[in-house]
Every structure is written in C-alpha cells, then in structure tokens.
Amino acid sequence: MTSKIKNKELQVAALQDGTVIDHIPVDKLFAVVTILNLPLMPNKITIGFNLQSKKYGKKGIIKISDCFFDDAVINKIALVAPACKLSIIKDYEVVEKRIVKLPNEFTGVCKCINPKCITNAEPMNTRFHVIGEDRKMLRCHYCEQEMNRDEVKLL
C-alpha cells in the first residue's frame, strides 16, 4: 500500500521529507498558497496546476520540502479547500495521510463578516461553529451571525 502511494506521488516530483497537499480545486490553489505563506518560504516547493483529477476534472497539488504544518494552518486550508488530501512524507514514504476536514468548532482562522460583531472591534480570538447539513455555513460564536464559508476573509 505504502509503495503504491509512493509511486503515484513520484509522478510529479519526488519528495524526501515534507508535506504534500493534493486534490486542491484549481480555483483555490492560490488561496492555499497564500494561507501557507509559500512566497516567503525558503524551502524547496513544487506547485502543480491544472493536473488531471478524477474528482474535479482538474486539480492543484503543492509539495513542500522539510515542512510540517500544525492544526491551525490545516484548519485554514480546510476552510477554503475542504476535502483536499494532505500527506506527511518521511524518507520518501507516506507516513501519515489525512483528509483535511474542518472541526465542528474552531477558533481563529477567519474573520466574522458582521461589521458590528465584537470580534471585529476587540483584540480577541474569533470562534465559529460549522453548521448546516453540508457543513457549508459558519455561525459566529459571539454575534450568532450565520455566513457562507466562501464569503469569509481569512485572518
């Protein structure tokens, strides 16, 4: 199983140690690039654009050498590109594969769209609940405003 995954990943570019983010919808690729702050990273980075994907038709992929992200960053990716796949590579092997999924509740990551919300006036963390059957909506924990997750601005 591991070697099969490895071979597939090698089709784009081999990675010794680092993180692969695959199945990014192409219209969200640059948003993910911004979230990860890639332009300011000294690491070796491969970005694939308009690659073939069974799921989306076309997809994006990002490979970053010697870099592993914490949950806060992964939650940000989940907000703009849910269902992309993140793999941790150690010594050319996939040691961990995870589906990027927003937790039911999270802090930080994005701003509340309500200009009259306390979180936009006070130096404090934002906090959101993921709601709706398709989990496409967020509700601000403070002002209770409901918003589409596509319309929020990232912090």
Partner 1 sequence: MRGDFTTIPFKLRKTMTKSLVNIAELSKEKIQYLLDMAQLFEKDPNLPMLKNQVVATLFFEPSTRTRLSFETAANRLGARVIGFSDPKATSSSKGESLKDTIMMVSNYADIIVMRHYLEGAARYAAEIAPIPIVNAGDGANQHPTQTMLDLYTIYQTQGRLNDLDIYLVGDLKYGRTVHSLIMAMRFFNPTFHFISPEELKMPQPYIDFCDENHINYVIDDEFTAQSISHADILYMTRVQRERFTDLVEYERVKNSFILHADMLTHCKDNMKILHPLPRVNEIATDVDDTKYAYYFEQAKNGLFMRQAILCDVVGITAEDVKSKM
Selected from 116, 133, 150, 153, the binder of partner 1 by CB under 8 A is 116
Q: Which residue type does 115 have?
A: P
Q: Which residue type does 25 have?
A: P
Residue 114 within binding range of Zn ion, rule CB under 5 A: yes
Count residues binding Zn ion (CB under 5 A): 7
The contact mask relative to Zn ion for 116-135 (x = CB under 5 A, - = no) is -x------------------
Report the C-alpha gap between 126 and 144 in whole angstroms. 12
Of 15-23, 28-36, 76-84, 114-122, the segment contacting partner 1 by CB under 8 A is 114-122
Residue 137 within binding range of Zn ion, rule CB under 5 A: no
Dihedral sign from CA coordinates of 120, 123, 124, 126: positive
Report the C-alpha gap between 45 and 72 in whole angstroms. 21
Binding partner of residue 123 among partner 1, Zn ion, none, CB cut-off 5 to 8 Å per kind? partner 1
The answer to whether the CB of 14 falls within 8 A of the CB of 44 is no
Q: Could you tell me the two tokens for 142?
A: 């403070």
Strand-pair category, 137-140 with 146-148:
antiparallel
Q: Which residue type does 73 have?
A: V
Selected from 122, 133, 134, 151, the binder of partner 1 by CB under 8 A is 122
105 vs 144, which CB is nearer to partner 1? 144
Residue 143 within binding range of partner 1, rule CB under 8 A: yes
- The residue ranges that bind partner 1 (CB under 8 A) are 114, 116-119, 121-124, 140-146
